[in-house]
Every structure is written in C-alpha cells, then in structure tokens.
Structure 1
Amino acid sequence: LPRWLLLPAGSSLRRRLTLPAAAADRLRDVIGFEIDRQTPFSADAVAFDARVLGRRESDGQLDVELVAVPRTAIDPPLAALGPLAATLSGIDVAGADGAPLAVNLLAPDRRRRRRDPWLRWNWALAAAALVACAAMLGQVLANRRDAADAFEQLIAAKADTGRRAAAQRQQLIDLIEGQVFLDSARTARPSAVEVLDELARRLPDGTYLEKLSLEDQRLTLIGLSNEAPALIGRLQGSELWRSPALAGALQPDPSSGRDRFTLTAELGRTTPAPAAAARGGAPDASATR
C-alpha cells in the first residue's frame, strides 16, 4: 500500500480563496502564484497544495482552501524517516478533528508511484477472459450455423414434398379440367347417331345421300334429291345444327332425273343437352327396361 506522512494540524497555514472556474484544471499552478500574497513565505520556502471546497451557483467561481507548511516543519520528520522518506507517496495535514485534509504537500516529482503487483495478473486474466469469450462466441456461432443448416435441410425436404404435392394437385386439376372440357365439347356437339336420326326424320323420301361428313363443327351433305330447293327449309329449326345452306348451284342428274346438291351447316346444339347426353350419352334407365 502507498505510504503517507501525516503532519499535525498546528503545523500548516490555511487560507480560503475564491478563484475563477477555469483554474480548476491547473489549480496547483495557480495557487503557486498566490503564495507570496497569501502567506509570509515565498513559494520556495513552503510545501503547499489546495483543495476545492465548493462551487458557487451564482457565478460558478470556486471556493478553494490553500494549505501551506514551511519546509522547516517538514524536513525534520522526513529526516527521521530515513530511507523510508524516498518511498512516500504523499504528505497530508490533519484537520481539527484529526482527519486528513486530503491534500498532498509532497512535490509531484518526489511522489512514489507504486505499481500494482497484480497488474500483470490482471492483464493476463483479462486476456484469458477475452480468449474465452471469443471461443464462446465462436462456439455459439458454429452452433447457430449448424442449426441453420439443419433447418435449411428440413425446409428443403418439406419444400420437395410440397412441390410433389403441388405437381400432383396440378395433374389432378388438369385431368378434371380436361374431363370438363371433353364433357362440354361432347355436350355441345351432337353425336353422329343423333345427326343421322335427325336427318332421317327431316329429309324427304325422294332424297338420298352419297356422302355425309362430320368434320369438327361442320356438317356436309352431298346427294341427289327431287326436292333439293326445299331441303334448306326442312333442315332449319333443328336443335343439332344451325345455318343450313347450299354450297354452290344445283346440278341436274340426267340418269336419275334429280338434282345434285351440296349442303353445309354448323354443328352445335341450340338448346342444352339432356342430362343423359351430358353424362356421355348414357341411356336412360327407363328406356333400358
């Protein structure tokens, strides 16, 4: 521990001063210029120091106490200490109650600054703590990375399962939409049996067909008839086609005495198909019986 010399209260001269606030940073140097005016001694003849008693709220000035001890009162105690005098960290003065005034009368260049014997150990322990902290942080970071990699693999597996499920769902949707499209197309377009049945009921007896073509949405009839001009009127109003018309002029056939015709129409139901046709043309149960 540092060694201090404590002088008795009666050995010091104390003066109370008021100084500007800017003097706080170099208080000892400022007080050194006040020794000649405040004491009967010169600055070289005394050991001195100052302590701040307070700061005024009105103007911010400092209340300072100057403590000075003649060197003639300090030299005998120092001589009595012998070799220990060189090991002193400071010289203080006791107050009226015996407690130190918390000043240091020893010149700054003579103060013994003792090094902390635990300083090297403290630095070593601090370095070890930093290394341990860095290792801990590295381990935490590694653990976080491992957890992130595992979580990423789990997400990838879940995502692959989700993609497969989405692909299967899309396939199912495509199948359903395709089936709906086929059903709607089948419902919108009459079957060949229905067309033949409708033609057999609408064409007159003196008409026979050489060719009947069902291509996409187009119906084409080529044949001979002794009532060819009246065929359009007979075919109009059907629920299986619309807009019947002759394609080209009628051509007389000398061998049969009939007119050769080519007639076209657009296939398509003009009214909704019955439920049986919507289900793919399945026969009605009552008709089956």
Structure 2
Amino acid sequence: MTTRAGTAMRPGLGRSVGAAGRFLAWWRDALASWLTPRWRALLGLDRERLLLVPGEGQVQLLRAGPDGLGTLAELPLPLEAAALDAVLDARLVGLPRWGLLPSVQVLRRPLLLPAAASERLREVVGFEIDRQTPFTAEAVYYDARVTGRRGDGQIEAELVVVRRQGVDRALQELGPVATGLAGLDVADAGGQPLGVNLLPPAQRTRRVSPARSWNLLAATVAVLALCFAGWQVLANRRAAADAFAAQVERSAVQARGVATERQQLVDLVEGARFLQQQRAARPTTVEVLDELTRLLPDNTYLEKVSIEGDRLLLIGLSPEAPGLVKQLEASRLWKSPALTGALQMDRRTRLDRFSLTAQLVGAPAPSAAPRGAADGR
C-alpha cells in the first residue's frame, strides 16, 4: 500500500516541481529584463551558450545569446579542450557548450496532446516514437517542444528525433570536447537553434559559470538587504506606533486634567450658586438687625442676637416681654416668633429677662421706586 501511494503521489509532485521551475524561470527573466545588457552579461542572465557546429574536418564555434548567433572561431577537428579554451575569454569559458546539428539530419513530427502532458513532455513523446517515426526509441536521440496551446485544453507539440548512430559518429569526430557538452540542439531552416536537447540526461554535462558565484553573492546580498529593509520598515512602524501611543497617552492625561479642572470649576460655580441661593433665601444680618431696631420698643434691651441657619434667637431685658411676640409678628423677615422658657426678673434692673425664637424667611423683593422718583421729579 505504501508503494502504491508513493507512486500515485509522484505525478503530482512532478507537476508541482515543474510549475515551480517555470515560475522561477519567468521571475528570473522578468528581473533580467530590467537590467542593461552589460549587467545581464556580467551576472550571467543572458542565457548565452557556445554552439559547436561540426563540419568537414573543422568545427565552427558560435555564441548564442539574446541578440542571435555570433561567429567566434573555426577550429580543426578533433578539438581539444585546451585549444577551445585558448580562443575564449574568461567570461565565455564558463558558458555551457552545446552541439548543433543541421536540420537535414533530424526528423520532426507535429503532435496534438492533452495539456497535462506538457508537465512531462519528453516522457510522453517517448511512447510515440514507434508510431510517428520509422525508428524505435532505442535507435534514436529525441526530444520534444511545445509549439502552441489551444483553447480546447490541448497543446501543439513537436517531436524531434535523430538517429543515434549518426550522432555518436559526429560526437566521436568532434573529439575530447564532446564529453563536456551540456546538450545537443538542432538548427531550423533558417540556421537558428530550435530549442531542444537531444542529448540524454545521463550524458549532459553541467558547467559552472564563473558568474555563478557572483550571482549567488548578489542574491545573498539582495536577500539580506530585503530582510534588513523589511526589519527596518517594521522597526519604523513599531517606533511610529509607540510614539503615537505615547502621544495619545499624553493627550489622554491632558484631557483628564482638563476634565478634572472643568469639574472643579463646575463644582465651584455650583457651590457659589448654592451659597448665593441660600443667602437669597433668607435676609442678611444687617436687615435682621435693622428690622429688630424698628420693631422693638425703646425700653427693650438685647443681650444676644444669634442666627443659626434659618433660626433667630433673641435674649434680652424688657418691661413688656409678653407683648414682644405680637410686635415681632409684624415683620416679613421671619415667622412664628415665640418665647422660650419662663420669664425671669432681673433684680438689678427690675426688668424681665426673656428668650425668644423665630424662623427666618426669604428677604422681600425691593419695592419699585415711585414713578416720579424714577423720572427725577
């Protein structure tokens, strides 16, 4: 059961890896398009390669890049690796080396396949060699490429095959450099590389470009710079958030202080208003004394006048103490005057000592002045 599950997961894993590889290739090409040709060449992003075109007793050396093909040199066969390196500069030495076969040596067949076949195109077309060509899969080198995509979920592909015997003979004539080839491409009718690799994966040699170390260093620096920039942006955001929080806290403290002061001011105003209302609710001491002076007879003497809240207390001497209550009832500044306690004779003055209380009421509103006085008459 474990073997079956692992086998079932391999196609999905292959599709994921293929999709990831295509995305990385697209991303790399998109980044490279923003660079100048000089920088693309310096960083090894031009996808340049050396093409070895064998001929009659010699091999033509071509450079394939985004600008097309360029002839570098023609060297005699068989070709030694040292002789090839001698005609290349330091940048070209590290480029991948490919063989280029003429179009007359290959057989090309168009195919119509499901879109899912593009994930493992070379493996799929390997089963079509017996049907599409007069050769068997063991007798040829082959590859395939996608030439178009249709809207019905199918792809247009092309199968490219070449007889293994002819390729092996050409590689043998090429000499020792044949063992270091990264691929084997085919020229189309116009002499341009077709974009396939007929060389089996086991025979391909991957050359490390001198610019690869610089590319890795540049990528590492870019990743570190990106991480630092992200960290710096995050730190700036945190600092800005902390500063904003501190400002909000200061504003909140000020607002609470202002609210406290406002409440204190409101309390003071309310207290002053309450005191004013309390004062307005009963007569002033001067008014009470003036009223007592007006109502009490001249033979009455006061020893104590006390005002506690709205309670008026009078203690004094008078020859007609019982009649004081009736006289004090004529005032509008208090009400309910009454004697408290018994009258006592003062031996020295022969007057009755009395104690009298009354309840203060609101002060009367000042009467309007006569019209003639108001007019100044």
Q: TM-score, normalised by structure 1?
A: 0.71
User: Secondary structure of 2:145's match?
Assistant: strand
Q: Which residue of 1 aligns with 2:144?
A: 50
Letter of the structure 2 residue corresponding to residue 80 of structure 1: E
Equivalent residues in 2 for 1:164-175, closer than 5 Å: none
Q: Does 1:103 align with 2:196?
A: yes
Deviation for aligned residue 1:79? 1.2
**Partner deviation per Cα, 1:174-211 (whole Å, 9 max, x = no partner):** 88777776666666554544433322321235644454
Distance 2:232 2:265 in 1: 49
Matched, 1:201 2:294: yes
Q: How far is 1:273 from its partner? A: 6.8
Tell me which amino acid in the other structure corresponds to 1:69: V
Contact conserved, 2:283 with 2:363, CA < 8 A, in 1?
no
Q: 1:222 aligns with which of 279, 300, 315?
A: 315
Task: State TM-score, norm by structure 2.
Answer: 0.56
Q: Which residue of 1 aligns with 2:31?
A: none
Segments of 5+ residues of structure 1 without an aligned counterpart are 275-289
In structure 1, C-alpha distance between the alignment counterparts of 2:263 and 2:113, rounded to whole Å? 91
Q: Per-residue CA shift, 1:108-164, capped at 9, x if unaligned?
A: 111121223222223333444555566677777888888999999999999999999
Aligned mates of 2:322, 2:176 — CA distance in 1: 150
2:355 to 262, 265, 289: 262
Q: For 2:211 and 2:200, how far apart are their aligned partners in 1?
A: 27
| Deviation for aligned residue 1:232 | 3.1
The whole-number CA distance in structure 2 between the counterparts of 1:81 and 1:249 is 151
Of 163, 177, 183 in structure 2, the residue corresponding to residue 70 of structure 1 is 163
Q: How many residues align?
A: 273
1:261 Cα deviation (Å)? 4.3
Alignment partners' CA distance in 1, 2:328 and 2:173: 147
Whether 2:108 is the aligned partner of 1:14: answer yes
Q: CA separation in 2, counterparts of 1:156 and 1:63?
A: 68
Tell me how far apart the structure 2 counterparts of residues 135 and 38 of structure 1 sit (CA, whole Å).
56
Counterpart Cα distance in 2 of 1:193 and 1:226: 26
Q: What's the CA shift for 1:21? A: 2.4
Query: Deviation of residue 45 (structure 1)?
Result: 0.8
- Change in Cα spacing, 1:67 to 1:158, as seen in structure 2 (3 Å) is closer
What is the CA distance between 1:48 and its match in structure 2? Answer: 0.8
2:172 to 79, 92, 95: 79
Q: Deviations over 1:11-65 (max 9, x none)?
A: 111222222222221111121112122222111111111112223323x222222
Change (3 A) 1:114 1:158: same
SS at structure 2 position matched to 1:118: helix
| Amino acid of the structure 1 residue aligned with 2:137 | A
Residue 315 (structure 2) pairs with residue 213 (structure 1): no
Once residues 56 and 160 of structure 1 are traced to their aligned partners in structure 2, the CA distance between those partners, rounded to angstroms, is 69
- Pair 1:94–1:137, CA change in 2 (3 A): closer
CA contact 2:148–2:156 (8 Å) conserved in 1? yes
Contact 1:188/1:273 (<8 A) preserved:
no
Counterpart contact for 1:31–1:66, Cα < 8 Å: yes
Residue 35 (structure 1) aligns with: 129
| 1:54 and 1:63 in contact (8 A); partners too | yes
Q: Contact 1:187–1:273 at 8 Å: present in 2 too?
A: no
**Structure 2 CA distance for aligned equivalents of residues 164 and 74 of structure 1:** 93
Partner of 2:57: none
Judging changes above 3 Å, is the alpha-carbon distance between structure 1 residues 84 and 169 closer, same or farther for their aligned structure 2 residues? same
SS at match of 1:10: helix
**Conserved? CA contact 2:96–2:182, under 8 Å:** yes
Distance 1:71 1:187 in 2: 124
Taking structure 1 as reference, are residues 273 and 85 closer, same or farther at Cα in structure 2, changes over 3 Å only? farther
Unpaired segments ≥5 residues, structure 2? 1-94, 368-377
Q: Secondary structure at the match of 1:5?
A: strand
2:189 partner amino acid: A
User: Which SS does the other structure have where 1:75 is aligned?
Assistant: helix
RMSD: 4.5
Deviates more, 1:240-249 or 1:64-73: 240-249
- Residue of structure 2 in register with 1:88 after alignment: 181
1:21, 1:132 → 2: CA distance?
Answer: 40
Identify the structure with bigger relative contact order (alpha carbons < 8 Å, sequence gap 6+): 1
For residues 119 and 261 of structure 2, the distance between their equivalents in structure 1, rounded to whole angstroms, comes to 83
Whole-angstrom CA distance in 1 between matches of 2:249 and 2:158: 78
